[in-house]
């Protein structure tokens, strides 16, 4: 594609300020992060300093108010942030930073006390503390109300025991926005949220999980054995955690749709360049009508899901209820991105199956979008209920 910014033009939501921010962010990503893609993928982790640098530049707090250490931007700055991170060519790095900026911390900004924001949110936005979101468990992935990690009141403390699974940033998080059950007899009203420092005695990382894709992010199994934390680390009201998590999922799914779509667009752009240069039977691959039409179909599908995602972002940014639109965007992005990236592998032929090619890594990475943050099936269940089915 001659103009890499073409998908982000001709929209009423991106202002000149957003375009300047995109250019600045892209220079940082492509100049500082992308050159290390192969190295960090092989290592299975990226340096902690990336969090610190992103924090110093204001990226981790781009949409947060200045009074808590944010940059005071809007939802469209967040959309730019989520769209440009895939240019690192490391979906795992994008996911880890988005967990920090848009999954583990927004709920602290919304519910946290002044003391909680000072102790946890401000240093997270500066990149000085790494955050994780601790909801999923070995027997409770999509079923959030089924978590068994238990927090029992004991005087002025809570004592927490249990385990968490598939936790991004889990091996090196300084704190976890943690879901635990405070009432074993109330399925939905018995879940609460806590801010949990990982230096608490009794906490341990069981193992770093060996994933198919997104390998540059650390994903962990965690254990909590009679971990004692003060009551002041309760986030919001006791017993309201399930409902907080459901609301927090909206922002998570929105940036997932945005980042996934942008990642697939990057793969398509690289594939177009490859197809224009690669010759078969004496002609470029794009000289064959079947390939041109495939590329046009993919570009059209990505444009459609991008516009649906922008519509959802507009509603979300204005505080309009948009569970329907966000669920549709997340579902459509997951289905479209996987279809596009798979077709791009096919257009690369044998080279597309080589680990040395970015398209091969992207193929493995993209598969997670249909699982993480709510599976495709969960999105369909949500939409079915909203449709009265």
Residue 128 a catalytic site member: no
Q: Are 330 and 256 within 8 A, CB to CB?
A: yes
Of 219, 204, 177, nearest in space to 44 by CA = 219
The catalytically annotated residue of 41, 252, 325, 343 is 252
* Catalytic positions: 252
């Amino acid at each position: 594609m001659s103009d890499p910014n073409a998908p982000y033009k001709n929209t009423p939501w991106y202002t000149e300020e957003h375009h300047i921010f995109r250019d600045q962010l892209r220079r940082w990503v492509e100049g500082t992060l992308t050159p290390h893609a192969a190295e960090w993928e092989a290592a299975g982790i990226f340096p902690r300093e990336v969090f610190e640098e992103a924090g110093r530049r204001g990226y981790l707090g781009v949409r947060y108010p200045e009074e808590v250490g944010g940059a005071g931007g809007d939802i469209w700055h967040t959309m730019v942030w989520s769209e440009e991170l895939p240019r690192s060519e490391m979906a795992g790095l994008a996911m880890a930073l988005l967990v920090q900026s848009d999954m583990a911390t927004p709920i602290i900004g919304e519910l946290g006390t002044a003391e909680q924001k000072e102790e946890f949110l401000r240093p997270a936005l500066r990149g000085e503390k790494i955050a994780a979101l601790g909801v999923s468990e070995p027997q409770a992935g999509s079923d959030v109300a089924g978590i068994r990690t238990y927090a029992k009141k004991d005087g002025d403390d809570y004592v927490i025991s249990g385990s968490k699974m598939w936790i991004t940033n889990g091996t090196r998080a300084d704190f976890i926005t943690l879901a635990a059950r405070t009432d074993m007899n109330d399925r939905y009203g018995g879940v609460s949220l806590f801010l949990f420092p990982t230096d608490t005695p009794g906490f341990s990382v069981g193992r770093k999980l060996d994933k198919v894709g997104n390998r540059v992010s650390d994903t962990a199994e965690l254990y909590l054995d009679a971990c004692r934390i003060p009551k002041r680390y309760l986030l919001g009201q006791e017993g309201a955690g399930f409902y907080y998590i459901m609301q927090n999922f909206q922002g998570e799914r929105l940036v997932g749709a945005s980042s996934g779509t942008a990642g697939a667009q990057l793969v398509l752009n690289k594939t177009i360049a490859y197809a224009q240069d690669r010759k078969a039977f004496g002609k470029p691959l794009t000289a064959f009508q079947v390939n041109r039409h495939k590329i046009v179909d993919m570009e059209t599908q990505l444009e459609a899901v991008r516009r649906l995602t922008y519509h959802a972002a507009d509603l979300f940014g204005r505080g309009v209820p948009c569970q329907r639109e966000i669920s549709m965007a997340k579902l459509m992005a997951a289905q479209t991105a996987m279809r596009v990236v798979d077709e791009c592998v096919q257009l690369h032929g044998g080279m597309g199956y080589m680990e040395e090619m970015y398209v091969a890594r992207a193929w493995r990475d993209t598969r997670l979008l249909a699982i993480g943050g709510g599976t495709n099936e969960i999105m369909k269940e949500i939409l079915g209920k909203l449709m009265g089915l």
